[in-house]
A and B are shown apart, each in its own frame.
Chain A
Amino acid sequence: MGDSALSAGTSDGFGLLAEFETPAQIMRAARAVHDAGYVEWDCHTPFPVHGLDKAMGVKPTILPVLVFFCGLMGVSLGFLLQWFTNAASIEAWFFGIVRGYEYMISGKPMMSLPAWIPVMFETTVLFSALATVGLMLVFNGLPRLYHPLFKSKRFARVTDDRFFLVIEARDPKFDRAASLSLLETLNPISIELVES
Chain B
Amino acid sequence: MEATPIDNTFEDPGQRAPLVLNHNDFTSVTTDICRASESPRPPRAWYIAFAISAALASLFFLLIFYLFITGVGIWGNHSPTMWGFPIVNFVFWIGIGHAGTLISAILFLFRQKWRTAINRFAEAMTIFAVVCAGTFPVIHVGRVWVVYWLFPIPNQMELWPQFRSPLLWDVFAVSTYFTVSLLFWYVGMIPDLATFRDRAATKTRAIIYGLLALGWTGSNRHWHRYERAYLLLAALATPLVLSVHSVVSFDFAVAQLPGWHSTIFPPYFVAGAIFGGFAMVVTLAVPSRQLWGLKDFITMRHLENMNKIILLTGSIVGYAYVSEFFIAWYSGATYEGFAFINRAFGQHAWAYWLMLFCNVVAPQLFWFKRFRRSIPVMYFVVMCVNVGMWFERFVIVISLEQDFLPSSWGYFAPTWVDLMMLVGSMGLFLMLFLLFIRYLPVIAMAELKAVMPQADPHTSGEHDTPAGQNREVV
Binding site for B on A (CB under 8 A): 21-27, 30, 42-53, 56, 58, 60-61, 63-64, 67, 81-82, 85-86, 97-101, 103, 105, 108, 112, 115-116, 118-119, 121-123, 125-126, 128-130, 132-133, 135-137, 139-140, 142-147, 149-150, 156-161, 164
Q: How far is the CA of A58 from the CA of B227 in the complex (A)?
A: 13
Q: Which residues of B contact A86 (CB under 8 A)?
A: 160, 162-164
> How distant is A27 from chain B, measured CB to nearest CB, in Å?
4
A-contact 0/1 string along B347-388, CB 8 Å cutoff? 000000000000000000000000000000000000000000
Prevailing SS type, chain A contact patch: helix
Contact A144-B183, Cβ < 8 Å, known A119-B168, A125-B239, A157-B198: no
Write out the residue numbers on chain B whose beta carbons fall within 8 Å of the beta carbon of A42: 219-221
Q: Give Cα A62–Cα B160 distance, bound, in whole angstroms.
A: 38
The reply to whether B446 and A46 contact each other, CB–CB distance below 8 Å, is: yes
Q: In whole angstroms, how far apart are the Cα atoms of A125 and B460 in the complex?
A: 40
Tell whether, in the assembled complex, residue B183 and residue A129 are in contact, meaning their CB atoms are under 8 Å apart.
yes
* Alpha-carbon gap, A100 to B445, bound state (A): 51
B26-A143 in contact (CB<8A): no
Of residues 437 through 466 on chain B, the ones whose CB sits less than 8 Å from some CB of chain A are: 445-447, 449-450, 454-463
Establish whether residues B221 and A58, one from each chain, have CB atoms under 8 Å apart when the complex forms.
yes
In the complex the two chains form, is B180's CB within 8 Å of A98's CB?
no
| A-B interface, 7 closest residue pairs, ranked by CB to CB distance from nearest | A24-B461, A143-B214, A161-B26, A136-B229, A85-B160, A22-B461, A144-B215
State whether A140 touches B218 (Cβ < 8 A): no
- List chain B residues, Cβ under 8 A from A30: 220
Q: Name B232's contact: one of A52, A67, A142, A159 (CB within 8 Å).
A: A67
Chain A CB within 10 Å — which of B220, B232, B243 has the most? Answer: B220
A132–B159 touching, CB < 8 Å: no
Q: A50-B456, A144-B215, A149-B217 are in contact. Are A61 and B449 (CB under 8 A)?
A: no
Question: How many angstroms between the C-alpha atoms of A24 and B146 in the bound complex?
Answer: 61
Which of B159, B162, B191, B233 interacts with A47 by CB under 8 Å? B191
The CA of A133 and the CA of B458, in the complex, are separated in Å by 31
CB nearest to A56 among chain B residues: B220
A48/B226 in contact, CB under 8 A: yes
Q: How far is the CA of A86 from the CA of B168 in the complex (A)?
A: 13
Closest to B462 in A: A24
Alpha-carbon distance A63/B226, docked complex (angstroms): 10
> Which residues of A are found within 8 Å of B187, using beta-carbon distances?
133, 136
B160 touches A61 (CB 8 A): no
Partner among A25, A67, A118, A130 whose Cβ is within 8 Å of the Cβ of B172: A118
Task: Indicate which residue in B164, B211, B460 contacts A112 across the interface (CB closer than 8 Å).
Answer: B164
> How distant is the Cα of A63 from the Cα of B236 in the complex, in angstroms?
14
- Residues of A contacting B217 in the complex (Cβ-Cβ under 8 angstroms): 44, 147, 149-150, 158
CA–CA, A149 to B169, complex, Å?
A: 48
A-B contacts, 10 of them at CB < 8 A, read A42-B219, A43-B220, A46-B30, A52-B457, A61-B225, A86-B164, A98-B154, A98-B158, A115-B164, A123-B176
CB of B223 within 8 Å of the partner chain: yes
Residue among A27, A85, A147 having the largest count of chain B Cβ atoms under 10 Å: A85
**A160–B173 alpha-carbon span in the complex (Å):** 38
B233 x A85 contact (CB < 8 A): no
Beyond A24-B457, A45-B220, is A119–B26 a contact (Cβ under 8 Å)?
no
B216 proximal to A (CB < 8 A):
yes
- State whether B233 touches A132 (Cβ < 8 A): yes
Residues 16-51 of B at the A interface (beta carbon under 8 Å): 25-27, 30
Q: How many residues of B contact A (CB 8 A)?
A: 72
Q: A43: which B residues are within 8 A, CB to CB?
A: 219-220
Q: Known interface pairs A24-B460, A133-B233. Does A159 touch B160 (Cβ–Cβ under 8 Å)?
A: no
Set of chain B residues within 8 Å of A48, measured between Cβ atoms: 220, 223-224, 226-227, 446, 450
Interface residues of B (CB under 8 A from A): 25-27, 30, 152, 154, 158-164, 166, 168-169, 172-173, 176, 179-180, 183-184, 187, 191, 194-195, 197-199, 210-211, 214-229, 232-233, 236-237, 239-240, 243, 247, 250, 445-447, 449-450, 454-463
CB-defined contacts of A85 to chain B, threshold 8 Å: 152, 160-161, 163
Among residues of B, the one whose C-beta sits closest to the C-beta of A133 is B183
In the bound complex, how far is the Cα of B176 from the Cα of A77, in angstroms?
15
Q: CA–CA, A63 to B292, complex, Å?
A: 38
CB distance A142 to B214 under 8 Å?
yes
Q: How far is the CB of A87 from chain B (nearest CB, A)?
A: 9
Given A47-B455, A125-B236, 9 extra CB contacts under 8 A: A46-B449, A49-B450, A56-B220, A86-B160, A119-B169, A136-B187, A139-B225, A146-B215, A158-B217
Q: Is the CB of B223 within 8 A of A45?
A: yes
Residues of B with C-beta under 8 A to A64: 228, 232
With a cutoff of 8 Å between Cβ atoms, the chain B residues found around residue A44 in the complex are 217-220
Return chain B residues, CB-CB under 8 Å to A122. 169, 172-173, 176, 240, 243
Distance (whole angstroms) from the CB of B101 to the closest CB of chain A: 12
In the complex, chain B residues whose CB is within 8 Å of the CB of A119 = 163, 168-169, 172
- Which single residue of chain B is at the shortest CB-CB distance from A160? B30
- The answer to whether A160 touches B26 (Cβ under 8 A) is yes
Contacts of A137 in B (CB 8 A): 214
Report whether A118 and B154 are in contact in the complex, using a CB–CB cutoff of 8 Å.
Answer: no
Q: Which residue of A lies closest to B31 (CB)?
A: A160
A149 proximity list for chain B (CB < 8 A): 217
B163-A128 in contact (CB<8A): no
Which residue of chain A lies nearest to B164 when distances are taken between CB atoms in the complex?
A115
What residues of A have a CB within 8 angstroms of the CB of B184 in the complex? 129
A25 is contacted by which of B195, B222, B224, B461 (Cβ under 8 Å)?
Answer: B461
